[in-house]
Structures are given as C-alpha cells and as structure tokens.
C-alpha cells in the first residue's frame, strides 16, 4: 500500500510513501503521519491511498496521535476548494485545521481525580466493616460528596492524610483517575436560559420552508431575505432545534464574531453547552478544546467566523450563514475562498441544509434564487409590526452653501444637530456612523503642495490624534506626525477631512452635556473593551455612540431612536464595483439599528450626492428597486 502525503511546504505537490505492513490496518485518509522528506523528518497528511507508486517510495515512519488527524469528511470539500480557488492541496489542508490542532503542541488540561470504586457501593459488606474507622469515614464522606473529587481537594474534604488515601487506593476502594478538563470560554459569563418564542406568522412560514429542506434528502439552499428586526435569529434558533432533534449538528457563521457578541450569546442562552464558539479571541487552549469537543461529538453547534465552517462534525444537518452578503466571509489570503459559497458546497457534499440570511442579500445570492438554484423565503415586516425607520437624505452641498466655512461642528447639518438635541432632551440614544477611523484623512502643505503619503503604497496617510501619528490604512505603516512641512518647513501644515476620532472630538464640543463613546478598531482593542462599551450603552450611560461599521450590525438597543450617517459618500467613491452595493447595504443595516423598541426611529443620511441610486433606493427600503 502507498500513501500520497501533503507536507506544509510550498511545493504544490504530494509525495508518495510506502505504508509499512503494520500500519496498513490503522492508516486512513486524513491521517497525520511522520515521514522523511529528503533528510528531514516531517509531519504530513495522507490524501490518497493506492496500490502502486511509480516512485521508489520511502516507508512512512509513524502515525501521529488521533487528536491531530484531518477530518476525513472534509477531504472532498478540501478537494473542491483546491480546484475552484486554484489553491494547492497542502495549503488548503493546512488552513482548514486550526493552527493549534495542526501544531499539536497543545495538550488537554488534565486533572487528577480520586474516585470511589464499585466495591465501595456495599457498605454492609464484611470487608468494609473490617476497615479502620478512619478509612470507613473517608469512604462515607466521599459518597456524601458525590463519589469523586479532584485529588487536590480530597485531603481537606475528607480530613485524612495522604497515607490513608494511598492505602485505600492500594486495597481497591479508591482509584486515581486523570480527567480532561475543558477550558470553557463562557466560564465567566452568567447565562440566562432563553426559551423559544412563539413565532409570528411570517417567521413560522420561514421556519416551515426550512424544515421542509431539512427533511429533504437533497436540500436546496435557502436565502432568507428578512428586513432588519424581522426576527431572523429566532428562525435560525428554531431551525437548529429541529436539526438537533433529527440527531444532526449545526454550524452558524457570523461575519465577525467579536462584533456580534449579542448573537453568539443568544445561541448559548438557548442551547447551553451544546454550543461551541470559535473566534479569534479564544486562547489556544480554549480553541483546542472547542475543536476537539466538536470532533468528539460532545458539542452539537459551532458558532463562529468563516473558519467555523470547517468544524469537524460528522452528522451535519444545517449550516446557517448570517449576514450572508458580508465581505468578511472572503478570506483574502491563501487559500482564497468565500465561506458563504463554500458553505453551499459543504451542504451539497454532506446532504445538509444551508440557510443564508440577510436584510440586504448579495446580488449573486438573490440572482441564484431567480434562476432556481436557491429557494427564496421572505420576511417583509418587523416584529410587532414596528415600522422601518424613515430615512431622510440631507444634501450637504446646499447645507455648506448656506453656512460659513469652518464653522464649529461643520459636518453636522442643522437638521441632524436639531434631531440630536431633541433625542438628548428625551433621554433617547443616538448612533453616529462614519466608516472611516482616525482624526483627519489628509495632511497637506498649502505653501508647497506636499501631501503626506505612505512610502510603500502611495496611499495618503490618516492622522490619528491620540497617538499623534500618521497611519497608512492600507499597510499599517506608522510614522510620527510632522509639526511642519517636511518639504518646505512651513509650520502651517493643514489637516483635512475627518474620521471617527474627529467626529468624536467635535461631538463632545457641540454637545458638551452628552455622554459620548467611540467604537472603532482603534478604541476596541479586545472583546472585553467591546463588551464594556455595549454594556454601558445598554445601561443608558452613553447618549451618543460613534462608530465605524463595527456598530452597523447585530446591535439590538431598543432606546436608539436616531441614527446619523455622517457622510454616506465615503464608500460610494471607492474604486470598487461593489461600492454602491456596499453603501446600500451599510445604510440599510445601520438604519436597522434605529427604532427597535417602543419608540419609532429616524435616520439621517448626510450626502453630497443625494441623487445616487444606492441612496435613493436605501431611503425607500427598496432592495428590489436597488
Ligand atoms: P433580525 O436579526 O432579523 O434583525 P432579531 O432576530 O434581532 O432580528 O429580532 C429582533 C427582536 O425581536 C429581538 O429583540 C428578538 O428577541 C425579538 N423577537 C424575535 N422573534 C420574536 C417573536 N417571535 N416574538 C417576540 N419577539 C421576537
Ligand atoms: Zn502603506
């Protein structure tokens, strides 16, 4: 027998090895093996087994331990990714496994336990009664405490010396036993159990369509087009419930997990520790445990960013892709893939249902419905028939013409400013959105015309005031901000344009009494800081929340009644054929944050191109029109 083995080398090739007779029974596809590559011993994965090889194949050296094997059920999918995205096998195989599993340095965290043996069940036996009183007492205490304790706690709990314990182990009353302890990323979070909600008629209709596909032998992918606040998540939850009851597992993909802690929490609240969460904020140990929990079948649902699609479930029933239009589903390094499309393929290969959900589906997905590849399910109204918020376009050209240049707070139109004042008076909350971080976006010298731009990319630097640096948003190069023009020495260098940092500064100046917070990747350095701000916002300690696309999705705050989009044109002018589509969905998503509670919401979009079709259709909540 011969094996084709892929190593993590940039060769784009697999290599043949002979399988020694004693390994033949154990070796399988996806198996991790040790072998000599030239003169170096390396690990690789078996991608093919065959009877002959045209080469003088060296023998394999060993099979590595079971926790590091490539899940054989994913091999076909890996093949497809190689073909479709023109990536090499080695690259795909290596990237579908979490690094910590692949590297194999992580071990399970084990704890030594002291357990009672079955012999200790009969306290009436002569053998028990012949024990010393101290030993009898130890056994009785252990029974009272549930029959098993971590070794560290035992001595204190049963009030005995280690020699007594050792003697009981030797005589077969107790046993020492190592157990794997799972590092639970939710250990510090107190979960409130969440019960299934009674569905609205449109939710039930959506659910029964999904259940139909779940029950079908060859399910068709479903696109769930539901407006913001229509209750898509509840539909996902109940669909998953159905899938679990069929004895099958589910994967839920979310665009960027640190940005959707609320969504993640809802799965955990509904399904408890059947849920594994995979995201970049986990420690290596946690990630290793979650992955092995899935592989061993102890976890039934995986929620995570795009790589969670490769969770090693054996009986997958459903894959949910939330916000399926999101560009974060695309991986822009090798292997390049779009997790939404690969989800559809995994569904096809494993015969499982795929549910794509969005308020603003990607045009490709919608098109796939019109040609019958996907099944379209719609939810057109919000829960409780709350209206979608009216969207108002404010023409900033007219606004500027009527106003003095450099007036304080000049990027606030009078309309937006008045509405913010009104909301502050009523103690309602405001979200201000600008999809650009930093303080100002250009640094120019009015005297010699110098513009500061990155040496590597020729992209103009963005000024970040807090750290007083110029940052290239393309390659992240950072240099000290000059106090005078580096070319001609003019001290009157000028900062132009604005990002969220400046919006924050101006907002604080214009609304001195308001509590203001900013949320972008400069202020949110970890999941914890994100949770803190959101908790404060929920508790009403923040009046105005300013942010980039980080605040556009998933947030469900009923007291937010005004959303201001500071400059809608930013995204429209990017040289990208999707710039209009992105702007349309971003406005729809951000607007969807308003009016989710009792009080109706309102949205103000400031723009210099109020006639642009992306804006006029977004204004009318008209996806089809778009
Ligand atoms: P979407 O994801 O479509 O924007 P969500 O799933 O966040 O919408 O739902 C919006 C709100 O409506 C949430 O607060 C959710 O708890 C609530 N909700 C969803 N379904 C129901 C239901 N059937 N009955 C009552 N409330 C619901
Ligand atoms: Zn650069």
203: CA distance to ligand 1 center in Å? 10
Region of poorest pLDDT, from 39-43, 348-352, 492-496: 492-496
pLDDT band for position 589 (cuts 50, 70, 90): confident
Ligand 1 environment, Cβ below 6 A: 197-200, 203, 226, 228-234, 383, 556
Tell me the mean pLDDT in the region 123-135. 85
Output the pTM of the full model: 0.81
pLDDT value of position 349: 95
Could you read off the pLDDT of 433-485 as tens digits, one per residue?
Answer: 998 889 988 888 888 888 888 988 888 899 998 889 999 988 889 999 988 89
Taking the C-alpha atoms of residue 262 and residue 268, their distance in angstroms, rounded to an integer, is: 10
Atom of ligand 1 nearest to the CA of 383: 12
Instruction: Report CA(345)–ligand 1 centroid distance (Å).
Output: 29
Is the pLDDT confidence value at 515 over 90?
yes
pLDDT-based confidence at 556, cuts 50/70/90? Answer: confident
Query: How confident is the model at residue 370, as a pLDDT?
Result: 96
The ligand 1 atom nearest the CA atom of 266: 16
For the CA of 470, the nearest ligand: 2
Q: Which ligand gives the minimal distance to the CA of 194? A: 1
Mean pLDDT, range 158-185, rounded to an integer: 79
Q: Ligand 1 pocket: which of 200, 204, 229, 231 to mutate (most atoms <8 Å of CB)?
A: 231
Q: Does residue 406 carry a pLDDT above 60?
A: no
Residue 126: the pLDDT is: 85
- What is the percent of the chain where pLDDT is above 90? 49
pLDDT digits (tens, 9 = 90+) for 24-75: 999 999 999 999 999 999 989 999 999 999 999 999 999 987 767 888 889 9
- In angstroms, the CA 9 to CA 6 distance is 8
Would you state the pLDDT for residue 104? 65
Residues 6 or more apart whose CB falls under 8 angstroms from that of 90 comprise 6, 7, 8, 9, 10, 11, 12, 13, 14
Q: Residue 551 and residue 30: Cα distance in Å, rounded?
A: 41
Q: Which ligand is nearest to the CA of 478?
A: 2
Task: Kindly report the protein residue whose alpha carbon is nearest to atom 15 of ligand 1.
Answer: 231
pLDDT grade for 131, boundaries at 50, 70 and 90: confident
pLDDT of residue 404: 66
Q: Whose alpha carbon is nearest atom 20 of ligand 1?
A: 231
What is the 389 CA–ligand 1 centroid distance (Å)? 16
Counting from 1 in the atom list of ligand 1, the atom nearest the Cα of 322 is 2
Contact present, 433 and 551 (Cβ < 8 Å): yes
Q: Please classify residue 542 by burial: count the beta carbons closer than 10 Å to its beta carbon, then call 0-12 exposed, 13-18 middle and 19+ buried.
A: buried
């Amino acid at each position: 027998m011969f094996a084709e083995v892929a190593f993590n080398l940039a060769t784009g090739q697999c290599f043949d090895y002979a399988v020694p007779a004693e390994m033949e029974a154990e070796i399988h596809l996806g198996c991790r093996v040790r072998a000599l590559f030239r003169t170096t011993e390396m690990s690789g994965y078996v991608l093919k087994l065959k009877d002959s090889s045209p080469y003088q194949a060296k023998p394999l050296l060993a099979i590595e331990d079971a926790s590091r094997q490539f899940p054989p059920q994913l091999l076909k999918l890996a093949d497809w990714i190689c073909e479709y995205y023109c990536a090499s096998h080695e690259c795909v195989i290596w990237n579908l496994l979490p690094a910590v599993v692949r590297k194999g340095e992580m071990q399970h965290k084990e704890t030594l336990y002291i357990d009672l043996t079955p012999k200790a069940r009969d306290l009436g036996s002569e053998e028990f009664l012949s024990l010393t009183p101290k030993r009898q007492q130890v056994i009785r205490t252990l029974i009272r405490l549930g029959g098993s304790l971590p070794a560290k706690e035992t001595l204190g709990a049963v009030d005995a010396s280690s020699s007594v314990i050792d003697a009981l182990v030797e005589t077969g009353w107790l046993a020492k036993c190592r157990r794997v302890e799972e590092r639970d990323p939710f250990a510090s979070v107190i979960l409130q159990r969440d019960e299934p909600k009674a569905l609205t008629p449109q939710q039930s209709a959506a659910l029964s369509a999904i259940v139909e596909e779940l029950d079908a032998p060859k399910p068709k992918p479903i696109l769930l087009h539901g407006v913001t606040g229509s209750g898509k998540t509840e539909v996902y939850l109940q669909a998953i419930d159905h899938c679990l009851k069929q004895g099958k597992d589910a994967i839920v993909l979310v665009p960027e997990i640190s940005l959707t802690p609320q969504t993640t929490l809802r799965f955990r609240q509904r399904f408890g520790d059947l849920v594994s969460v995979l995201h970049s904020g986990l420690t290596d140990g946690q990630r290793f445990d979650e992955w092995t929990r899935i592989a061993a079948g102890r976890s039934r649902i995986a929620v995570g960013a795009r790589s969670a699609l490769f969770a090693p479930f054996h009986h997958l029933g459903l894959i949910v892709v939330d916000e399926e239009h999101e560009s974060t589903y695309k991986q822009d390094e090798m292997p390049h893939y779009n997790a939404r499309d690969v989800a559809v393929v995994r569904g096809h290969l494993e015969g499982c249902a795929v549910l794509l959900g969005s308020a603003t589906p990607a045009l490709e997905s919608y098109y796939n419905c019109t040609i019958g590849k996907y099944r379209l399910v719609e939810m057109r109204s919000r829960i409780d028939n709350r209206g979608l918020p009216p969207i108002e376009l404010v023409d900033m050209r007219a606004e500027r013409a009527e106003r003095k240049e450099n007036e304080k707070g000049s990027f606030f139109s009078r309309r937006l400013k008045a509405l913010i004042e009104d909301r502050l008076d009523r103690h309602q909350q405001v979200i201000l959105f600008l999809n650009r971080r930093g303080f100002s976006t250009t640094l120019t010298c009015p005297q010699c015309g110098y513009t500061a731009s990155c040496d590597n990319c020729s992209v103009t630097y963005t000024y970040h005031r807090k750290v007083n640096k110029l940052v290239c948003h393309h390659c992240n190069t950072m240099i000290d901000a000059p106090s005078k023009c580096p070319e001609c020495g003019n001290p009157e260098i000028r900062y132009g344009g604005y990002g969220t940092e400046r919006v924050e500064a101006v907002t604080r100046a214009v609304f001195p009494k308001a509590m203001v917070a900013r949320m972008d990747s400069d202020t949110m350095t970890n999941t914890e800081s994100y949770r803190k701000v959101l908790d404060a916002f929920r508790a009403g300690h923040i009046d105005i929340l300013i942010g980039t696309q980080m605040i556009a999705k998933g947030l469900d705050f009923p007291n937010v009644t005004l959303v201001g989009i500071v400059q809608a044109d930013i995204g429209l002018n990017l040289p990208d054929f999707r710039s209009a589509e992105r702007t349309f969905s971003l406005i729809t998503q951000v607007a969807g944050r308003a009016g989710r509670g009792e009080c109706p919401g309102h949205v103000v979009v400031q723009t210099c191109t109020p006639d642009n079709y992306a804006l006029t259709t977004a204004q009318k909540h008209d996806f089809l029109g778009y």
